Amino acid sequence: MWHCFTAAASRALENAANWSCRADCDELEVVPLLVGLLGESECRAASLLAARVIDLPALQRRWPALAERSAPPNQAGTIKKPFSRELEISIDLARLRLVDLPQPLELATEHLLLGLASADHEAGRWLRKQGIDPDRIETEIHRQYRRQEGGGEREEVWEPDPSDDTAATPAPSSSAVDSTTAAMRALDAAANRAREGLRVVEDYVRFVLDDRHLTQQCKQLRHDLTATLQSAPTAFRMAARDTEADVGAGLFTTAETVRADATAVLRANFARLQESLRSLEEFGKLIDAELSAAMKQLRYRTYTLERAVEATRGNAERLADARLYVLIDGRASADEFERLIRGLIDAGADVLQLRDKRLDDRRLLERARLLVASTRGTPVLTIINDRPDLASLSGADGVHVGQEELSVRDARQIVGPGRLIGVSTHSIEQARQAVLDGADYLGVGPTFSSGTKRFEHFPGVELLRAVASEIRLPAFAIGGIDATNIEQALAAGMTRVAISGAIADAADPFAAARELKSRITGGV
């Protein structure tokens, strides 16, 4: 995936390319990137590393094989070595944590360190053990962004976190209020903000997305938040509340008074919710350790909910015109395959999926690349069945996985955040879970028996009706659908249909595609 880096981050990556833990390594690895970040001594990442006494000798003690290797000079502004898989995963994790910032995101040194510290690889675990907390870095990045958005200047070097054990502890003021009362005031304010933010998110999901499943997720989260807050009784919080004396009550920024659209409302209130839960978690430590731990779990649940809501919202737009999804094999020759593709494009296919169990990997990749090349310049989306590796190598728009194939999480590690991941679902429970897992669209079925796949159970039209009634993530009815039964799928509320044999095996596949597309769109 293409990345955009700040000048400091680019220099750090270029310097890192001259280091390696292996003499024969031709990839840019995560540990050498730490060396590159240390080399940018004025950058934020270097400041955070230095605060934890992480320097080159410390890295070489941990990784004795780490050494500078001779390498050809890079062209200006380029990174010569390809990124290792661990480094790509780290960068993807940073992007996911910062998805609410304006996109495309220009990755800075602190973003790179955030990704490294978030990852479940050896270097990430070591960084966390040294006290590099990804949650703390993420919070600071958002704080700096809000300061910049409000017109304040961004510091070039971050100040030490007051909660670090390396930071000086100020002497208590003689006028300080009782710590328990202050904690209760903070908990009360954060609880109010969290409930308010969650209610706005729920209203968006309910009235803008019209999504029953995600509305239920919001309601459950709201119920669990209320139950958790019982550890800080309402009577105590009310007694500590002093709105008139709250120094922050009259403070606001211009950005708070304007929302560009409903999506901006959604994102602002997810941020409000998550920041409030973090405040509840931190101040909860002064009251009840179990309260703090419960707030942490609620906060992580909001991240999952936010991903599902954003996926539903974004893919409803991205796949708005995707109505006819056609599954095709690689055909007997590349020429025949290309003719099939071009004919289906002309016939109105919106999505083409390559699914072929006969071809070996090399020929399957050749067909995948031909599919991508043949659709270039058209609105047609290209999907590879079951093989996220081939989807990534071919440059396809996405991959489709079944219940027995790779999970959405594992597929995402391979294809990255920019490609579509579709999931086959055979029950309403699987459909609901796929939404929360981060799927970009659903295949729902099998609806009718077909000659393509064999199933012992056919959930049929009832499953289509259930999904259509509560899930707004784009969903395609699939399984044995043809001209004789497509009206049943459409009557169940589905507006998207995936078809295989009724088109690919037809005497005139292009005429069949045109007829079925006309039936789906009502002749429009």
The pTM score is 0.65
What CATH number does domain 320-521 carry, 3.20.20.70, 3.30.720.200, 3.40.50.300, 3.20.20.100?
Answer: 3.20.20.70
Tokens of 168: 């000086």
Domain 179-315 has CATH 1.20.1260: yes
Percent of the chain scoring above 90 in pLDDT? 67
Tokens of 69: 């290797």
Domain boundaries for CATH 1.20.1260 within the chain: 179-315
Q: Are strands 381-385 and 67-68 parallel, antiparallel or unpaired?
A: unpaired
Q: Confirm if 323 and 495 have CB atoms less than 8 A apart.
A: yes
Domain boundaries for CATH 1.10.1780.10 within the chain: 4-149
Q: Helices marked H in 107-244 — which ranges?
A: 109-118, 122-129, 134-149, 179-203, 212-228, 234-240
Q: How far apart are CA 220 and CA 39, in angstroms?
A: 48
Residue with tokens 């959930």: 459
**Residues pairing with 444 in the sheet:** 425, 477
Dihedral angle computed from the Cα positions of residues 184, 190, 196 and 197, in that order, rounded to the nearest 10 degrees: -160
Q: Confirm if 330 and 354 have CB atoms less than 8 A apart.
A: yes
3-state DSSP assignment of residue 23: coil
Per-residue pLDDT tens, the chain, 524 aa: give them. Answer: 467 899 999 999 999 999 998 877 788 999 999 999 999 988 989 999 998 999 999 999 999 999 987 655 544 444 568 899 899 889 988 887 887 788 778 899 999 999 999 998 999 999 999 999 999 999 888 888 776 666 554 444 454 444 444 333 333 333 334 566 777 888 889 999 999 999 999 999 999 999 999 999 999 999 999 999 887 766 666 776 777 667 666 666 666 667 889 999 999 999 999 999 999 999 888 878 888 999 999 999 999 999 999 999 999 999 999 999 999 999 999 999 999 999 999 999 999 999 999 999 999 999 999 999 999 999 999 999 999 999 999 999 999 999 999 999 999 999 999 999 999 999 999 999 999 999 999 999 999 987 666 656 679 999 999 999 999 999 999 999 999 999 999 999 999 999 999 999 999 999 999 999 999 998 54
What CATH number does domain 4-149 carry, 1.10.10.10, 1.10.1780.10, 3.40.50.11440, 3.40.350.10?
Answer: 1.10.1780.10
What's the pLDDT tens digit per position in 244-290?
A: 667 666 666 666 667 889 999 999 999 999 999 999 999 888 878 88
